[in-house]
Amino acid sequence: MDTRININEIDPAAYKAMYALESYIQKSGLDHKQYELIKIRASQINGCAFCLNMHTKDARKLGETEQRIYVLNAWRETNFFTEEEQAILALTEEVTNIQNHISQETYQNAIRILGDQKTAQVIMAAVTINAWNRIAITTHLMPELEK
């Protein structure tokens, strides 16, 4: 698969705007390990190999376990994730699959467990990784094979 246009080279202002979202999330107080879980789960749903490759590595550097990464796409079938992480993952999935809308149950559960501020941060984190996924998939960004 050939790589397509490099948006950062063609329209650096667009990437600057995306990095502003990243900067907001990094400074928002959202736990960095939780943010990596959001990025991995959304990227799994979207089928973004580039982002999956990047964010699984980043998560491991932050101390995330291989086992939790392996079962992330079946997180409901394990007891590996805290109640807070489960609320984050459920909201991330529904934001990613937005055509099904966000259920009242998922939203209210997020507010109950995470509070208003953290729920807003999770929504913005999910929106941001979904945008990155769409850029990477559309432009055919490819991960490099490790040797």
Is residue 24 in a domain? Answer: no
Q: Which pLDDT tens digit goes with each residue over 62-77?
A: 999 999 999 999 999 9
Q: What is the sign of the dihedral through the CA atoms of 121, 113, 67 and 49? A: negative
> Contact 38/125 with Cβ under 8 angstroms?
yes
143 in a structural domain: no
Residue 145 has pLDDT above 90, yes or no: no
What CATH number should be reported for the domain holding residue 96? Answer: 1.20.1290.10
How many domains, the chain?
1
Residue 145 is assigned to a structural domain of this protein: no
Angle at 70 between CA 40 and CA 87, to 5 degrees: 55
From CA 9, how far away is CA 28, in angstroms rounded? 28
| Within-domain flag for 146 | no
pLDDT in tens, 83-122: 999 999 999 999 999 998 999 999 999 999 999 999 999 9
Residue 119 within any structural domain of the chain: yes
Q: Has residue 36 been placed in a domain?
A: yes
| Range(s) of the domain holding residue 109 | 31-138
Query: Which residue has better confidence, 3 or 84?
Result: 84
Integer Cα distance of 55 and 127 in angstroms = 16
70 within some domain: yes
Q: Is the pLDDT of residue 144 over 90?
A: no
Residue 3 covered by a domain: no
Instruction: Say how far apart CA 134 and CA 128 lie, in whole Å.
Output: 10
